[in-house]
Amino acid sequence: MAFVEIDHVTKHYDALEVISDFSLAVDEHEVICLIGPSGCGKSTLLRCVNRLEEISSGEIRIHGDRITGPGVDLDRLRRDIGIVFQGYNLFPHMTVLENAVLAPTKVLGMGRREAEEKAMAFLERISLSHKANDYPDRLSGGQQQRVAIVRALMMEPMLLLLDEITSALDPELVSEVLDIVRDLAAGGMTMILATHEMGFAREVADRICFLQAGKVYEQGPPAEVLGNPQGERTQAFLRSLRKAGRL
């Protein structure tokens, strides 16, 4: 049994079908990269996994336990599934440290001092401990995104969803964020990433899924999908990236 099973999931907004009959199984410690043109359903899919969005049909299971449908304790579920957004979404009225300790103290009931020590240890590791008492608007985009990752890690999630976390960043800030993801992958964190960074996907992913119109169009090890794509759409997508100098 796989860790996360996305089983024939469909999601539509009124008549618009964003995800259609989508299936994917993720093993523990596996890193999956979702790639594909914008509007192919990558972000929506991630948001369905922690139920920020509701699916229309199908089901999602974690360790065989169905997490879709009625009666699931969402607050409990979301403690164990971290998500990092494209736009960082740090709380602007809280300092970096307060952002990091909010959920552990208010949701897990961790002591303030303990939570702060833990947060400082994380911030130390990403070389941002000197920014602990700054507000997010004093930080660069890359720094904010690193803090957002720390905020998610503070809950010690079993699964981390990364939703195009470098898309809003200036090019020179991308690598500082990807370095952290690389460390997490090496540490065995199970992650699903929606990304446009093909070079990074090739390096860090165990498996790459090319999405097309809400479906897995082609999937496999990075070298195969990126190096020797079989599908016509995959080839066209990679060709257009190459033309734009993104691959």
Partner 1 sequence: MTDQLILEQQDEAGRAAIWRARRSTRTYRGRAGFTLLLAAVTFLVVAASAQHIGGYAVSQGVSSLIAALPGIVAAIAAAFVLGMAASAFLKSLAASRNDDVYAARALGDEASTRSWKALAWIGALMIVTGGAWFMVVNDAAVSRTFFDLALIRDSVGKVLRAFGTNILIFSVSAVFILAWALVIALARTLPGAAGRPLRVLAIAYGDLFRGLPAIITIYLIGFGLPLTNLPFLSDLSTTSYAIIALTLTYGAYTSEIYRAGIEGVHHSQVAAARSLGLSHAKTMRYVVVPLAMRNIIPPLMNNCISLQKDTALVAIIGAIDAFNQAKIIAANNFNLSAVTTVAILFIAVTIPQARIVDKLSERDRRRMRAGG
Binding residues vs partner 1 (CB under 8 A): 47, 50, 52, 74-76, 78-79, 81-83, 85, 87, 89-93, 102-103, 106-107, 137, 151-152, 155
Nearest distance in Å: CB 41, partner 1: 17
Is there a contact between 88 and 136 (Cβ–Cβ < 8 Å)? yes
Give CA separation, 26 vs 13, 192, 194, in Å. 26, 9, 14
- CB-nearer residue toward partner 1: 107 or 223: 107
3-state secondary structure (DSSP) of residue 95: coil
Tokens matching residue 223: 């070298």
- Provide, rounded to whole angstroms, the least separation between the CB of residue 54 and partner 1: 12
Partnered with residue 86 across adjacent β-strands are none
Q: How many CA atoms lie within 13 A of 178 on its CB side?
A: 22
Least CB distance from residue 92 to partner 1, whole Å? 7
Q: Tokens at residue 202, please?
A: 């090739």
By beta-carbon proximity to partner 1, the closer residue of 110 and 216 is 110
* Least Å from the CB of residue 140 to partner 1: 13
Rounded to the nearest 5°, which phi and psi values hold at 36? Answer: 145, 165
| Token pair in block for residue 9 | 């999931």
Q: Which is nearer to partner 1, 115 or 238 (CB)?
A: 115
| Structure tokens belonging to residue 55 | 């699916």
H or E stretch including 197? none
Tokens 């736009």, located at residue: 87
Nearest residue (CB) to partner 1, 41 versus 82: 82
CB of 193 to partner 1, least distance (A): 16
What stretches of the chain adopt beta strand conformation (E)?
Answer: 4-13, 16-26, 31-35, 57-62, 65-66, 81-84, 159-163, 190-194, 207-212, 215-220
The single-letter code of the amino acid at 208 is I
Nearer to partner 1, 43 or 195 (CB): 43
The residue (of 94 and 247) whose beta carbon lies closer to partner 1 is 94
Query: Shortest distance, CB of residue 194 to partner 1, whole angstroms?
Result: 15
* Least Å from the CB of residue 174 to partner 1: 21
**Contact criterion met (CB below 8 Å) for 79 and 31:** no
Residue number, 20 or 86, with CB nearest to partner 1: 86
